[in-house]
Amino acid sequence: MTPSLHWVDIALVLASVVFVMLFGLRFAHKQNSTSSYFAAGGALPSWAIGMSIFATLISSVTFLAYPGAAYGGNWILLVQGLMVPIVLLGMIWFIVPLFRRVIKLSTYEYFERRFGWGARLYGSLAFLLTHFSKMGTVFFLVSLAIAQFMGWNIYAIIFGIGIAVTILTLLGGIEAVVWMDVIQGFILIAGGLTCAAILLFAPEGGPAAVWEVAREAHKIDVGPYAFDFVQLTFWVMVVNGIFYAIQKYGTDQTIVQRYLTARDDRSAKKAAYIGVLASVPIWTLFMFIGTCLYAYYRIEGGLPEGIKSDDVFPYFIATQLPIGVKGLIISALVAGAISSLDSDLNCFAAIGVQDFYVRRHPESTDRQRLALGRWIVAGAGAASIAIAAIYAYWDGEGILGVLFGLYAIFSSGIVGLFLLGLLSRRANKRGLWVGLTACILFTAYAVLTSSKFMIGGEKQLLLDLGSWNFTHNKMMLGVYSHLIVFFVGWAASYLFPREEVDENLTIYGYLKKRKAER
């Protein structure tokens, strides 16, 4: 791709980044306690929190990889997102009050209160590993796109963006993160709508021609619909989406921490609804952009040989958009990266301080905890930059599949753990660990017998058991791990003496409380 970025576009991108950075830094003087740094003192309005949730969910992965996936296939990956509002309606009404009542800062404090310190450690490490892989992906995608647009060295871009986001998050705290996300969310929406409008009307024949090409190629579809868990099918995405929704809104620190920044339970619930109801249309929009890209290049031609699906949208931005519009779209791309990365960094620090440092040093002062939190932001930023550089070295092929695969592997059983504590009064600590052990063994078996690694100059399975290899789709790996923890942990609990359980940590305690209030 020949770099063709006009100075006007460069100025727009730099101006948007500088504006967001300066806006975020204006909150730095308020960050004088862990309460303000990690929870904004519980004083943020629900609409801003909702927009922050939206911007966190809509990252550069959505901006680049979703159009690439839709261009190369259809809209099947959207099914995962469509499950989120369905699941959310059934669970957010009691999950939000539960967390706001039970935890101080870390989501995984609930796990400790229900099953002990080991469960909390397992949840914390699962979050850290999952989001390190996600952050590296986001860094890589946005840096790859900018490198293609401007002809700059991708490693220099990775380090530049990474350092800027890290400094901003380190100084501004969660309040800066939320308000920056609000701005970046609107930039993302504007960028996506602009691209969709241009793609609809740019080709000869306009929207009617785009629709006809997409219809003939079956692009606006979420199949295949076979009840098959080996291939990527509609039902794989439905099941995966259900567990994704529970994991994101019930066990993910980046979302749960947002609940704590709201003024009350009602505001926190409203924020959750705003976040997900804004996300689904934008997920759909970027799938639609991918379909329009397919139609555009079938009608107009001109796509060079060798362009991969993930590269089609950046190629279109670089070669077809007019001056000014190109700058807006790249600004939206950068905004997507920043809004996702700043949230993760602040949450890493929250977990590091609350789950590890405070537990070992309960006598520590708030000033010491705040200082450590800032050091953790710096360390997490450096680590995610390193992961992005590794992605760049590997050339990032099939990056969306890598992301979902890592998400499933690193989050093994976390939803099963959460549901076991929430839905079963009989489940106990020792039963849980039987379930987690079974889950870990299964995950190791599935990964070793289904993932090929470079050995002796060619890709080979680390463990080949022939017909006993794990052959189901990688997205089902996470689903199975959650189910194993829940059912094995529940059944194994009956092998051990009953333990006293605080009913307020289960859904039954919440329902009993609601009934008494009525």
Q: Which residue ranges make up each domain of the chain?
A: 7-26+45-395, 412-518
211: pLDDT strictly greater than 90: yes
Average pLDDT in the 138-164 region? 80
Mean per-residue pLDDT for 203-209? 92
CATH H-level, domain 7-26+45-395: superfamily = Sodium/glucose cotransporter (1.20.1730.10)
| Distance of alpha carbon 271 from alpha carbon 267, whole angstroms | 6
User: In terms of pLDDT, which residue wins out, 461 or 425?
Assistant: 425
What are 443's two structure tokens? Answer: 């995950």
Q: What is the mean pLDDT of residues 493-503?
A: 92
| pLDDT, average across residues 226-246 | 94
The answer to whether 107 touches 257, Cβ cutoff 8 Å, is: yes
Strands (E) in 76-127, as ranges, are none
**Which pLDDT belongs to residue 410?**
60
Position 433 pLDDT exceeds 80 = yes
The DSSP element (H or E) to which 275 belongs, if any, is helix 265-300
Residue predicted with more confidence, 168 or 3: 168
221: its two tokens: 């579809």
pLDDT digits (tens, 9 = 90+) for 51-88: 998 887 776 667 777 899 999 999 999 999 999 888 88
Sequence letter at residue 442: F
**pLDDT > 90? residue 286:** yes
Out of 56-70, 92-106, 205-219, 298-312, the most confident range is 205-219
* pLDDT number for residue 399: 53
Task: Find out whether 5 and 148 touch, Cβ atoms under 8 Å.
Answer: no
Residue 158 pairs in a beta bridge with none
Choice between 5 and 420, residue whose per-residue pLDDT is larger: 420
Q: Is the pLDDT of residue 404 over 60?
A: no
pLDDT value at 43 more than 60: yes
